[in-house]
Amino acid sequence: MRDRWCEGRSPDLKGRPGGRTGAAVEETAETAGERRAVVIGGGLAGMLAVTALLGHVDTVTVVERDRYPEGHAFRKGVPQARHLHVFLSGGLRALEELLPGTGRAFTDAGARTLYPPSDLVTRTAVGWQHRFEERRHGCLSVTRPVIDGVVRARVLRAAAASATRLEVLEATEAVGLTGDAGRVTGVRVRARAGGDRTGGAGPAAAQTVPAALVVDASGRSSKAPQWFAELGRPAPRQETVDAGIAYATRMFRPTGPAGAPDMGINIPGWPGSPRGAVYVPVEGGIWLLTAAGVRGHHPPTDDQGFADFTATIGDPYIHGLLPHAEPVSPVYGFRDTANRRRHYERPGTVPEGFVVVGDANCTFNPIYGQGMSIAALDALALRRTLESGGGLRPGLARRAQRAVARATEPAWMIAIGADRPYASGADARSGLGERLMSWYVQRLILRSVVDPVLGAAFRDVSCLTVPPSRLMAPRTVLRTVLLPLRPGAGAPPAAVVPLRRAA
């Protein structure tokens, strides 16, 4: 009976020394609770959390409700994967620290590196940003299945080289926690329909996987607040700021050079123009077009409506490229884009033995491209906590959750600061300080269209390499407030401007 939930293995695992069969789980499940960690969700945050745990426990068991696809393919459990997923430089640095060589592996898999603003250009309310030749932030442009597939393969490799055993239970869903209000002692799991090769009728019975540490990396659908209630604990305090953005995305293959500019194009919405779009190259000669709009301006998901929508954004440039590219996918929509943070780091919120990372902890408006980077920074925070605190000692959950909160905070401040003006009801309430900051950042963005110094300062912060407080450096404040706004270029600039000439 028990092997009904533990028979699943990723095709990637086959023949790899890091992988374990379900039988291995059976042998150890009753005895290894003391030194086993269970990771709920084998997506990006879950796989990166595995790297943090290697060397600190005997066994890591990943519980993933999907089966992993062969190769780099989309899967049901990560529906947002159809949409633009840019990996910011700050997140890539964290990823490289966790899994050295991953950047190179992405490139080998066809990923493009775009350096804003020289080869990822933004149109703002005052015109097109100049293409200053800055190369401070290489941001990864590739489809999400490639990111997940490359990371998964490298995690399996890292596990194979470590003393920790890694087990991946595919087609297995976490349905609850075991323990009590003070301590989590394991996870209740159940085989999913279609994942049960024993052919039994009806839903599989739940089984318990004992664990000294449970990491919830189950993404935006995390049930941890409900599971807390079952253990007799209050749910974490939740904060939401929802700009009401919806996405629609389609893949294109350019039919000639006119459909493939030598730069990615970003035309975000701005006050007075609430619709936007991004057109970027990804692997295999494909370009991704993601359109977005706030409430009342959601992009349609039918073919004609989607194409028509691109004619209504703040600049006609992207629309003009479409006759030179053929669609190679349907249009996919996505609406749940609120910034939502659960404050597990607040004193007394997490029980011993339970840590929450990635989207399960905090989701962001995807416009800012932060979620995957925060998944990497969260994993790094967990690893450093384990290293500095001597592994699975009492108080680990509390300390790790505080470290995760510190890693999350800068991205959260950026996202809610920018989105508050578009929120409604209680979400929209902001203090004078936040309103002033919002005005200041807007002015800085507009001034940076012609000012490479301010542009660099803004990108350092928005790519998550320095904290937002750097925007208040005296030189940055003076340039933002005292220098006049000037119009940008009237059309996407063809030439890259050497920095010496711009300064």
Q: What's the CA gap between 216 and 40, in Å, rounded?
A: 5
Contact 142, 92 (CB under 8 A): no
Q: How far is the CB of 203 from ligand FAD (least distance, A)?
A: 14
358 binds ligand FAD (CB under 6 A): yes
Contact 252, 289 (CB under 8 A): yes
Shorter beta-carbon distance to ligand FAD: residue 177 or 496: 177
| Interactions with ligand FAD, residue window 31-60 (CB under 6 A) | 40-46
Distances (CA, A) of 273 to 249, 368, 430, 489: 19, 18, 23, 18
Token pair 């000439």: residue? 501
Q: How far is the CB of 75 from ligand FAD (least distance, A)?
A: 7
Cβ contacts of 298 within 8 Å, gap of 6 or more: 246, 248, 333, 335
| Interactions with ligand FAD, residue window 441-500 (CB under 6 A) | none
391 binds ligand FAD (CB under 6 A): no
Phi, psi of 264, rounded to the nearest 5 degrees: -75, 150
Among 66, 133, 170, 419, binds ligand FAD (CB under 6 A): 66
Shorter beta-carbon distance to ligand FAD: residue 293 or 369: 369
- Selected range binding ligand FAD among 63-71, 178-186, 198-206, 467-475, rule: CB under 6 A: 63-71
Site string for ligand FAD, 109-148 (x = CB under 6 A): ----------------------------------------
Residue 73: how many CB atoms within 10 A of its CB?
Answer: 13
Q: How far is the CB of 155 from ligand FAD (least distance, A)?
A: 12
3-state secondary structure of 173: strand
Token pair 């490289």: residue? 96
Shorter beta-carbon distance to ligand FAD: residue 209 or 423: 209
Q: How far is the CB of 382 from ligand FAD (least distance, A)?
A: 13
Q: How far is the CB of 77 from ligand FAD (least distance, A)?
A: 2
Q: How far is the CB of 475 from ligand FAD (least distance, A)?
A: 29
Q: What's the CA gap between 397 and 185, in Å, rounded?
A: 13
Contacts of the segment 341-345: beta carbons below 8 A, 24+ positions apart: 341/238, 341/239, 341/240, 341/408, 341/412, 342/224, 342/225, 342/236, 342/237, 342/238, 343/236, 343/237, 343/238, 343/239, 343/405, 344/224, 344/236, 344/401, 344/404, 344/405, 345/401, 345/402, 345/404, 345/405
Contact 87, 120 (CB under 8 A): no
Q: How far is the CB of 219 from ligand FAD (least distance, A)?
A: 3
420 binds ligand FAD (CB under 6 A): no
Q: What's the CA gap between 460 and 477, in Å, rounded?
A: 15
Q: How many residues in the shown chain lie near ligand FAD by CB under 6 A?
A: 38
Shorter beta-carbon distance to ligand FAD: residue 84 or 146: 84
| Interactions with ligand FAD, residue window 244-303 (CB under 6 A) | 247
Site string for ligand FAD, 76-115 (x = CB under 6 A): -xx-x--xxxxx----------------------------
Q: Which two tokens stand for residue 234?
A: 């209050």
Among 63, 95, 139, 313, binds ligand FAD (CB under 6 A): 63
Question: What are the start-end ranges of the E strands in 297-375?
Answer: 325-327, 332-334, 339-342, 354-356, 362-363
Shorter beta-carbon distance to ligand FAD: residue 117 or 195: 195
Select the residue whose beta carbon is closest to ligand FAD and give its number: 371
Site string for ligand FAD, 332-351 (x = CB under 6 A): --x--x--------------
Shorter beta-carbon distance to ligand FAD: residue 214 or 263: 214
Cβ contacts of 295 within 8 Å, gap of 6 or more: 244, 422, 424
Q: What's the CA gap between 203 and 196, in Å, rounded?
A: 9
Q: What's the CA gap between 115 and 402, in Å, rounded?
A: 32
Q: How far is the CB of 337 from ligand FAD (least distance, A)?
A: 6
Shorter beta-carbon distance to ligand FAD: residue 252 or 480: 252
| Interactions with ligand FAD, residue window 161-220 (CB under 6 A) | 173-174, 217-219
Q: Which two tokens stand for residue 103?
A: 């950047």
> Can you give the binding site for ligand FAD, defined by CB under 6 A?
40-46, 63-66, 77-78, 80, 83-87, 173-174, 217-219, 221, 247, 334, 337, 358-360, 366, 369-373, 375
